Chains A and B, each alone.
Chain A
Amino acid sequence: MSIEIRNIAKRFGNFTALDHINLEVKTGELLALLGPSGCGKTTLLRIIAGLEAPDDGQILFHGEDTTEKHVRERNVGFVFQHYALFRHMTVFENVAFGLRVRPKETRPSDAEIKRKVHELLNLVQLDWLADRYPAQLSGGQRQRIALARALAVEPKVLLLDEPFGALDTKVRKELRRWLRRLHDEMHITSVFVTHDQEEALEVADRVVVMNKGKIEQLGSPSDVYDKPATPFVYQFLGDVNLFQSRVHEGWAHVGDARFAAPQGQTDQAVVYVRPHEIDVSREGGAGALSGVISHVRLLGATVRLEVDVAGQDAVEVELTRERYLQGDWKVAETVYLLPREARVYVPSAAEWTDGGGI
């Protein structure tokens, strides 16, 4: 089942949560809504579910307008960040709930409910917890039960609101892989909200990057990471160094380095370089930036150097541990930085360009 979001707008008082969003979720895909908190991603998800009403616009399920339909008639499975399991019911009763509340004509028999619930509990690999109460489960187990409960009503759409947001790093990594496998088996149209770029890139078929109630970019994980459409996307997906620069005859100059710049009305430009796309050396060359190492941080497999460059914010350089050991870099040493990749943004230009290295 496809979902079409047409011109959806929502305000809370003076705050614009969603500013006329248009988006199509394709049948069977797993779509991530990614953005910082307050960007409107959860509001959009809740509007799709029918838990929130839009001020303007339409939601279409499979071409049919469902904007006015109540949440209970939309047949969506909703998974909450804090699980929202029924605390006074056992795990079994939680999963059975959606079947038990059906009107008499469509309600399955007790035996059928029992079979179905155990089938779902097996699917989430927690059949042995059927008689426990939610408070007796770990966070990861609770969220899997919440998912089983949502799947029990055979929803046409699965909506997940920061499903792993309340879990610790190790469990969330396990669970997101498990969710991806589950989706590959079931192919149910799914939308999940996250603020974790790694999670979105790893799990989703397509990623929607949102900011301030608008969609910044829509694309595959490699699209949004490799070809960010806006400076916001570039900064949000991973760490980045910013260099203020001036454009002269089509080149943005940062110290002795220069980068191809797009045509704009001003000579102001911002050059973005990711920390792992910078080489460090002790010999200066054409287009290298000189600076002084102020900090060395060991972060397990990688090492970060903080380099003070005249006229710029401190520059972060990420090296593999091996290269760090080869170079034997020390604090207070003068070094030369050579960006391998860079992107140049001229605020007044329509597009921004790949500035290339050096």
Chain B
Amino acid sequence: MAQTPRSIATTESRPVRWALTTLALLFIALFLLLPLVSVFTEALRKGFGLYFEALKEPDAWSAIKLTLIAALIAVPLNLSFGLAAAWAIAKFDFKGKSILITLIDLPFSVSPVVAGLIYMLMFGTQGWIGPWLNDHDIKIVFAIPGIVLATVFVTVPFVARELIPLMEAQGSEEEQAALSLGASGWQTFYRVTLPNIKWGLLYGVILANARAMGEFGAVSVVSGHIRGQTNTIPLHVEILYNEYNFVGAFACASILALLALVTLGVKSWVEWRTEQLAARDRANAVDG
């Protein structure tokens, strides 16, 4: 963070500071903390036994597995795409660069439901290539491939968005130096570029993973909600809740909430670690 000393010009009087801080804390407690706590209390309302029973139930277990599969495919795809896109955008100048940047942001700006509908329009039975897929007995929508596709779509921006500013700030002089010293393209990437962006990359992957596991809208459209087959955790939570199975719904929801907590924990650790490295550099830097 910035090392600028605090100036009296930007410091408010004590009552104002107290009031603002209290307001912010109250808001956080009411809208963030309370719901989180309620997820766990609801899930454990009838004891640990029923809680684990709800998770072991075959449909719930299959939803957990499907969520993991979707994330396991979407996150590495996103990682390689994000890396390639950020590399291209930050280190080279080419025509259509701004279009590519805008396209990467598309999943952020479009509603996930619309994204799901696009896949229905393409691969659904009434869709453009739906009949052809049907003839060849290939199932995309209402099956795992559709869910994976939708998940990949909504997670596209995360890694690229994280890396582009970082790589642009670092420039390409270190890479040029590596090449002039005789390194190959791969050696330059592996030994110079990657170590410089590894924390940003990890941060992007964490965020992409959280989104991949928690995605509801896009997946909901293409899944078809077939119990035990095409339900991810968020979809399964909705079904259970609609069936008044509150313990089951909150038990599954608690897994997502736990994931969120773990994600936040890892994210804070990454941030802390990056800050530590920066602080070490600053502390040891000698001017002149």
Contact = CB atoms under 8 A, between A and B. Distances in A.
A141 B284 CA distance: 14
A153 B284 contact: no
Contact of A135 (B184, B195, B284): B284
Contacts of A23: none
Interface string A18-58: 00000000000000000000000000000001110000000
A78 B281 contact: no
A90 to B, nearest CB: 12
Interface residues of B, number: 23
Interface string A81-104: 010111110000000011001100
A322 to B, nearest CB: 34
B286 A77 contact: no
Given A88-B196, A136-B285, A168-B288, A101 B181 contact: yes
Contacts of B183: 72, 97-98, 101
Contacts, number: 83
Contacts of B179: 51, 70-72
Interface residues of A, number: 37
A85 B286 CA distance: 16
Given A133-B284, A136-B281, A138-B286, A97 B181 contact: yes
Interface in B270-288: 281-282, 284-288
B173 A82 contact: yes
B268 interface: no
Interface string B140-177: 00000000000000000000000000000000011011
B191 interface: yes
A343 interface: no
A153 B183 CA distance: 11
Interface of B: 173-174, 176-184, 187, 191-192, 195-196, 281-282, 284-288
23 contacts: A51-B179, A71-B179, A72-B179, A72-B181, A72-B182, A76-B180, A78-B176, A78-B180, A80-B173, A84-B176, A86-B174, A86-B192, A88-B195, A88-B196, A97-B183, A101-B181, A132-B284, A135-B284, A136-B281, A136-B285, A141-B286, A149-B181, A150-B181
